[in-house]
Structure 1
Amino acid sequence: MAKVTLTAFMTLDGVVQAPGGPDEDRDGGFGHGGWVAPHFDEELGRFVDETFGTVTGFLLGRRTYEIFAAYWPQVTDADDPVAGRLNTLPKYVASRTLESAGWHNSTLLGGDAVKEVAALKERLDGELQIHGSGNLAHGLMAHGLIDEYRLMVFPVLLGSGKRLFADGTVPTALEAVESRTTGTGVAIHVYRAAGRPEYGLVGA
């Protein structure tokens, strides 16, 4: 069975919208795109490279797929740990509007992405990674299909924008796997899904 992991750049107040550049995603009039750039150092880059080093396939939503497909095929360095994997490994795209997915080794999922991903988990081995793809992530979280979260939390407050853990997120307990902080203050947390939360009374 494959493991599904979610990797996300996230502000301290939970925003995941347009981390990479000003025009990446202006939905809702979002004007803060590119907030990752001032904090992206070699240490964070190593963590990203480590993450891509374990992938065997990708799960992508339409918007993320289109952003990636417009950029990464132009990076032809086969030794680049990100480009080398994105350009060669299987990419499964959840979209109700795309009619085709022309990037090498890309497959459109059917109309019910949750059902399709559940079937992929059963059929495949290795690690299926989600990057960006907030709508897809929300759907999979709601059905308990994400096994591990790799969160890079940036020392930035934006006050608006799309959030990874929005209202209505299914209550889930998480087991801490790893935690470290980069020199620019990015807190890297790796959590494994651990079923439903437990509750109690403090001091009882």
Structure 2
Amino acid sequence: MGAIAVHEFISLDGVIEDPSWTFEYGFDPKMGETLGAITGGAKAILLGRLTFEMFAPAWRDRTPEDDPGVPFFNDTVKYVVGSQAPQEEWNNSKHFGPYDADAIRKLKDETDGTIYISGSGQLVRGLLRDGLVDELHLFVFPVALGKGDRLFDADLTKLALNGHDVYDNGVVHLNYGPA
């Protein structure tokens, strides 16, 4: 049986939209080590259609010399959740169809390892509501944006802290699981 591990870059006020605001903080190499540990046991990637369409052109033409994460993103099977099929092409990608908690439970049951998710706010909100997230990795940047798409909606979400890291660039990694 698999587990779902979500990774988000998030502001202090919960914004996950267009994380270009993270660039000014740089990317601490220890953050890369943490992300490598999160993706290390992953056997699949689950993405919302919009995130998939942003990731595909950003990753598919890169080489391992450009970024050590390239083999993971390009070689791992990717399931795309959305009522519409994605417009972008990317190897090892499958249209999963619209959000269906039972179908995702089945995918978890059939996956021997972690199913990794990055971004995909609408998908992650549904997974949190349905109790399908096993690990929620929040990389909290020291900025409040005041507006933008937030990870958490009006539903009560209780989590338990599994661990944390603090990086030299001011980013804090919070690893949560179900409460």
Q: TM (normalized to structure 2)?
A: 0.92
Backbone CA RMSD of aligned residues: 1.8
Give yes or no for contact 1:52–1:81 (8 Å, CA) kept in 2: no
Q: 1:37 is matched with which residue: 10, 23, 26?
A: 23
Give yes or no for contact 1:155–1:186 (8 Å, CA) kept in 2: yes
Which structure would you say has the larger Rg?
1
Q: What letter corresponds to residue 160 of structure 2 in structure 1?
A: E
Q: Identity percentage over the alignment?
A: 36
Which position in structure 1 is the counterpart of 2:7? 7
Aligned pair count reads 178
Report the structure, 1 or 2, having the larger strand content.
2
CA distance in 1, matches of 2:65, 2:112: 24
Alignment of 1:82-93 (within 5 A): 82-93=69-80
Structure 2: gaps spanning 5 or more residues = none
Q: 1:154 is matched with which residue: 141, 155, 160?
A: 141
The 1:100–1:67 alpha-carbon spacing in structure 2 relative to 1, beyond 3 Å, is closer
Which position in structure 2 is the counterpart of 1:188? 173
Secondary structure of the 1:92 match is strand
Give yes or no for contact 1:6–1:148 (8 Å, CA) kept in 2: yes
1:138 is the counterpart of 2:125: yes
| Larger RCO of the pair (alpha carbons < 8 Å, separation 6+) | 2
The 1:181–1:78 alpha-carbon spacing in structure 2 relative to 1, beyond 3 Å, is same
Alignment of 1:18-97 (within 5 A): 18-19=18-19, 34-39=20-25, 40-77=27-64, 80-97=67-84
Secondary structure of the 2:84 match is coil
The 1:156–1:110 alpha-carbon spacing in structure 2 relative to 1, beyond 3 Å, is same
Which position in structure 1 is the counterpart of 2:163? 178
The 1:93–1:99 alpha-carbon spacing in structure 2 relative to 1, beyond 3 Å, is closer
Structure 1: gaps spanning 5 or more residues = 20-33, 195-204
Give yes or no for contact 1:56–1:126 (8 Å, CA) kept in 2: yes
